[in-house]
Amino acid sequence: MKEIAPARGVWPPAATPFCADLSIDFERYVAHCKSLLADGAHGLAVLGTTSEANSLDLAEREGALERLVAAGIPAEKLLPGTGTPSIGDTVRLTRHAASLGVRGVLLLPPFYYKSVSEDGLFAFVSEVIGRVGRANLQIYLYNFPQMSGIAWSPALVGHLLKSFPKTVVGLKDSSGDVAYTSRLLESYPGFAVFPSSEALLLAALKRGAAGCISATANTQVGAIRALYDGWQGADAENLSRAASAVRLLMQKFPLIAAVKAVLAERLRAPDWARVRPPLDPLSPAERKELAAELAKIAAEAPA
Amino acid sequence: MKEIAPARGVWPPAATPFCADLSIDFERYVAHCKSLLADGAHGLAVLGTTSEANSLDLAEREGALERLVAAGIPAEKLLPGTGTPSIGDTVRLTRHAASLGVRGVLLLPPFYYKSVSEDGLFAFVSEVIGRVGRANLQIYLYNFPQMSGIAWSPALVGHLLKSFPKTVVGLKDSSGDVAYTSRLLESYPGFAVFPSSEALLLAALKRGAAGCISATANTQVGAIRALYDGWQGADAENLSRAASAVRLLMQKFPLIAAVKAVLAERLRAPDWARVRPPLDPLSPAERKELAAELAKIAAEAPA
């Protein structure tokens, strides 16, 4: 079996648009995913936190992947999230994604029970890998303790890497904890670590990061791609500053709602602003403030 | 349609036994549920936290309920947990449970996204109730912020009660926060509040609580039933002390693993001690310590 190198580059966690009845708006979804790829994304980290995947039911998650592939998006450009609190549902989603030929999957820890041990988390991942039973499966651990309540500790990452060296190949770090990212990069050279913010990307690339999986790549994938391509060049600091300005502004707002508000405004498609409960859309005042601040950043940017 | 009063009494959150391959051991499961009812339980709050329901996949949760009903346990004695992070899967489990004729369902808040607003949580519950579409559905909110990361605030509970007075009829409070329980009981007379510990039961009954849904009811349902029946009698303090001693000891250990360890020992069925990842069983040293401390409590009890 051919061994495939871990993913690298800019993999936006594509936002998921909803119709008025809260079902997925597939036409907009496919168009958005294609435009992200056309604008420079190396691939798409679909069905993660920004995609509101945990607000989709299991059948919708499977259906969304199938629609993207059927619409002509190459499966090897997809890194879907498949983590759930149970071994069974995680195996179901992971097998389904693998059967479509995706590049790999992003795996949240089982996120209901808290204060679980590293042995318990190791046993969970080990059961999932064994039951999925695909030698060429690539798993990227998804670290977002602010949401999941569970962190993949560097020691546990090391244990998993040692036990499943061809399967556990990377990690998306949404913690924003630079020391954590750095520790992983120093401890495990070749492990594909993706920070979740373009504002942390330049420093992370200098330490060996694989790329970036950022919510705000939904709205500025080109700027992030330029930074990824140019990070060793003379203009790196300017590219980083430009991408970071938008990110640092947007993360002052509820981030998923802010991403969707920007897409709604830019595409003149108010429906894009819709989120699924329990999330709320931005208030009109927040939308106005965000738009004004983004316009200010655009006006200050060098031509 | 006949209106059914909210549940009252002792409703153990039945533990779920697993076979060596981690599948549900239905023979033991049915026997355990029947013995809890025979020993004094008014009904069973199956498929909650203690039942490791969030470590079961959706199909298993449905299958487990069906097996209990098929085995002759009256559906009106079942209060299954049906909460998931998504509207769709929550509606699926709730409709399924309602179709079997259960007494009501326990509803966790959507527990992936954190820092969500009360409006967002209200919208979630409102969508679930609307989509389930059964006028006689009884929902008991399930408050366990230590696990779910989300609390049902008294203000939100009031909002839900006012909007869905025949549907949102009670709450299981696993927070252990006595002030919270008291505030609900004072603010919403008639609302069926169940503390999750027999050590808090006597005080809660005096304030108007409906009963108790306690993990340790799996191991001492008779003692809790005696307290529930006798709380206004001369022996109430002694009954409370007896039930509380076991509870306060067991909650010094990881509680679900401790409950299963006690059942394994008592039923001479080592398989009962098995838990699903990410949980761990008690270590041999913990099991020994727990057994010794329980024996001490039993020896000290009045004959």
Flag whether residue B21 sits within 8 Å of chain A, measured between CB atoms: no
Residue A300 pLDDT grade (very low, low, confident, very high; cuts 50, 70, 90): confident
- Give the amino acid at A173: D
B259 neighbors B218 (Cβ within 8 angstroms): yes
> Hunting for tokens 């008294």 — which residue is that?
B154
The 3-state DSSP composition of chain B as helix, strand, coil percent (nearest 5) reads 50, 10, 40
Cross-chain Cβ contact B120/A279 below 8 Å: yes
Flag whether residue A118 sits within 8 Å of chain B, measured between CB atoms: no
User: How many other C-beta atoms are found inside a 10 Å radius of the C-beta of residue A154?
Assistant: 15
Query: Which residue in the set A22, A58, A146 is minimally distant from B114, CB to CB?
Result: A146
Cross-chain Cβ contact B110/A22 below 8 Å: no
Q: How far apart are CA A252 and CA A246, in angstroms?
A: 10
- Put simply, the chain A residues between 158 and 197 with a CB less than 8 A from any chain B CB are none
Q: How far apart are CA B299 and CA B159, in angstroms?
A: 49
- Angle between helix axes B58-70 and A87-100 (nearest 10 degrees) is 130
A224 neighbors A212 (Cβ within 8 angstroms): yes
Q: How far apart are CA A121 and CA A156, in angstroms?
A: 8
Flag whether residue A92 sits within 8 Å of chain B, measured between CB atoms: yes
B68 neighbors B77 (Cβ within 8 angstroms): no
Tens of pLDDT along chain B (303 residues) come to 457 899 999 999 999 999 999 999 999 999 999 999 999 999 999 999 999 999 999 999 999 999 999 999 999 999 999 999 999 999 999 999 999 999 999 999 999 999 999 999 999 999 999 999 998 899 999 999 999 999 999 999 999 999 999 999 999 999 999 999 999 999 999 999 999 999 999 999 999 999 999 999 999 999 999 999 999 999 999 999 999 999 999 999 999 999 999 999 999 999 999 999 999 999 999 999 999 999 999 998 875
All residues at 6 or more sequence positions from B103 whose CB lies less than 8 Å from its CB, including other chains? B4, B7, B43, B75, B76, B77, B78, B79, B138
What per-residue confidence (pLDDT) applies to B2? 58
Radius of gyration over alpha carbons of chain A, in Å?
Answer: 18
Q: How far apart are CA B225 and CA B247, in angstroms?
A: 14
The pLDDT tens digits of the residues spanning A167-205 come to 999 999 999 999 999 999 999 999 999 999 999 999 999
Query: Which residue in the set A85, A126, A146 is minimally distant from B55, CB to CB?
Result: A85
Bridge-based pairing state of the strands B192-195 and A211-212: unpaired
Bridge-based pairing state of the strands A168-173 and A139-143: parallel
A147 neighbors A113 (Cβ within 8 angstroms): no
High-pLDDT (> 70) share of chain A, %: 99
Cross-chain Cβ contact A117/B54 below 8 Å: no
What per-residue confidence (pLDDT) applies to B135? 86
Query: Which residue in the set B92, B127, B148 is minimally distant from A57, CB to CB?
Result: B92
Distance of alpha carbon A39 from its chain centroid, rounded? 17
**Residues of A with catalytic annotation?**
49, 112, 142, 172
Instruction: Give the CA-trace dihedral at B243, B249, B251, B256, to 10 degrees.
Output: -80
Residue B281: closest C-alpha in chain A: A120
The pLDDT tens digits of the residues spanning A214-262 come to 999 999 999 999 999 999 999 999 999 999 999 999 999 999 999 999 9
Flag whether residue B251 sits within 8 Å of chain A, measured between CB atoms: no
Instruction: Give the CA-trace dihedral at B47, B51, B57, B61, to 10 degrees.
Output: -30
Distance to chain A for B33, nearest Cα, Å: 23
For the cut 50, the answer to whether the pLDDT of residue A112 exceeds it is yes
For the cut 90, the answer to whether the pLDDT of residue A115 exceeds it is yes
What per-residue confidence (pLDDT) applies to A303? 58
What per-residue confidence (pLDDT) applies to B1? 45
Distance of alpha carbon B214 from its chain centroid, rounded? 6
pLDDT, average across residues A115-138: 96
Beta bridge partners of A194: A172
Residue A51: closest C-alpha in chain B: B113
SS3 annotation, A119-174: HHHHHHHHHHHHHHCCCCCCEEEEECHHHHCCCCCHHHHHHHHHHCCCCEEEEEEC
What per-residue confidence (pLDDT) applies to B301? 80
Flag whether residue A116 sits within 8 Å of chain B, measured between CB atoms: yes
